[in-house]
Amino acid sequence: MNNPGLFQARWNARQLAFCNVVPLALLAFCLWPTGQRQCVFFDGWLFHPLNSPLATNPIWLHIWAIASLRPFDAVGRWFRG
């Protein structure tokens, strides 16, 4: 807990600018009509391969359905403390 290098009492303007400019650039890209189409295409391209096992395997589908319920979140919270 006592790590003097973890928190420093000075500003790092370069990292602050980076952490603000990157999200603003991504937001502007998603709001731009051409960028929005590319984001939707990328979302579909990534979504289908990641979720296709759920359509073909009923056991995997039921595992994810049960794991997505609120009581299961409470169990996970209980184990983490």
Residues 5-33 have pLDDT tens digits of 666 778 889 999 999 999 999 999 999 99
Domains: count for the chain:
1
Residue type, 73: D
Backbone φ, ψ for residue 7 (5° rounding): -115, 125
Domain presence at residue 2: no
pTM of the full predicted structure? 0.55
3-state secondary structure of 62: helix
pLDDT at 75: 74
pLDDT at 67: 82
Domain presence at residue 8: no
Domain presence at residue 42: yes
pLDDT at 41: 96
Percent of the chain's residues with pLDDT above 90: 44
Q: Which residue has the higher pLDDT, 59 or 78?
A: 59
